[in-house]
Amino acid sequence: MADLFGLFSDDKSQSNDNSSTQENDTTLNTQSSQTDGKLELHKEELDITKNSVNAGEVVLSKEVVEEQKTIGVPVMHEEVVITRTPVNNSSSNATISSDESIHIPVSQEQVETHKYTVTTEEISASKRQVSENQQIEETLRREEAKVDTTGSVNIVSGESDFSDINS
């Protein structure tokens, strides 16, 4: 690395390194003059793709739950009240017989139950899309130029925007 891939070495070592340079043409392009050289720099960038995956499902169903209810219902019924009133033992012409009777109808309310169905609520389900930002971390690599010199070599910046290539 001291001579930057053989760019600044003597012609003998340059010709030996030139065979490996021709095999890997993407990193070093040699030109007709052995004193010039190019080095391509590369960097990694992220290619982000999003895939839709199944996250689960929601199932809406219903189940029957039974419960016992006790409800107080006021009901009416009739009772027969028999009252005896003594009379003053007055004489009577009636004959004594068991043929006479009085019929008193007695009524009461009976509770009947009938069940019927009512709708109490409606439940619906739908989907919506929610966007959120997810932070991802990835290490990206890039190539930077490094110039090593030996001896008293003076490097002058060319037409590029670099004022000092190692800074």
Q: What is the DSSP string of 91-114?
A: ---PPP-S---------B------
Residue 108 resides in a domain: no
Look at the chain and count its residues: 167
Q: How many domains are there within the chain?
A: 1
Instruction: Give the tens place of pLDDT for each residue, 9-44.
Output: 444 444 444 443 444 444 444 444 567 888 899 999
Helix (H, G, I), strand (E, B) or coil at 39: strand
Residue 26 resides in a domain: yes
pLDDT of residue 25: 43
Instruction: Give the tens place of pLDDT for each residue, 87-115.
Output: 888 888 888 888 889 999 999 999 999 99
At 95, list the tokens.
Answer: 């004959």
Residue 33 resides in a domain: yes
Residue 150 resides in a domain: no
Between 161 and 87, whose confidence is greater?
87
pLDDT of residue 94: 85
Evaluate the CA torsion angle 137, 141, 145, 148 in order and state its sign.
positive
First to last CA, the chain: 18
8 Å CB contact between 44 and 21: no
Q: pLDDT class for 156, splitting at 50, 70, 90?
A: confident
- Within 8 A by CB and 6+ apart from 136, the residues are 48
Q: From its phi and psi, is residue 112 left (phi > 0), alpha (psi between -120 and 50) or beta?
A: beta
Residue 136 resides in a domain: no
How far is CA 142 from its chain centroid?
36
Other Cβ atoms within 10 Å of 27 Cβ, number: 14
Residue 129 resides in a domain: no
Domain that holds residue 24: 1-43
Q: From its phi and psi, is residue 6 left (phi > 0), alpha (psi between -120 and 50) or beta?
A: left
Helix (H, G, I), strand (E, B) or coil at 38: strand
Residue 15 resides in a domain: yes
Residue 14 resides in a domain: yes
